[in-house]
Amino acid sequence: MLFKFKSKAAGDLIMLEPNGRRVLEIIGKDPGPKGIILPEEMPAATQALNAAIAREEAEQQAAIDEARAKGEVPPRFDGAVSLRQRAVPFLDMLQRCSSAGKEIVWGV
């Protein structure tokens, strides 16, 4: 399944199901087949996504620091696409739609 996010203020954004589901869960939305994000919900959604990105990056840095402290080889996260990389297009869409006062919908 794909999530196709649409708005009159931004181009369509397509995400694979696991990535779209994760983003929607982070911002407190039901990742069902249809939904809407209203302009008044967008600032809180942006803040939630940015907090989740910061948390993920802090956890990765803590794992690296812990491994170095033990004299081990630090873990590498290069192979995985980070939440920041996945969320940046969605954050851009949230910003554009919030500024324009337009909702974001999916599954319609």
User: Picking from 5-9, 20-24, 59-63, 102-106, which range would have the lowest pLDDT averaged per residue?
Assistant: 59-63
Distance from C-alpha of 72 to C-alpha of 74, rounded to nearest angstrom: 6
pLDDT digits (tens, 9 = 90+) for 44-95: 999 999 999 999 999 988 988 999 898 888 887 766 788 999 999 999 999 9
Mean pLDDT of 1-19: 94
Q: What are the residue ranges spanned by the domains of the chain?
A: 2-88+98-106
Exposure of 30 in the CB half-sphere (CA atoms within 13 A)? 6
Asked if residue 106 lies in contact with residue 5, where contact means CB atoms within 8 angstroms, the answer is: yes
- The half-sphere exposure of 87 on its side-chain side, counting CA atoms within 13 A, is 23
pTM for the model stands at 0.86
Tokens of 51: 């907090």
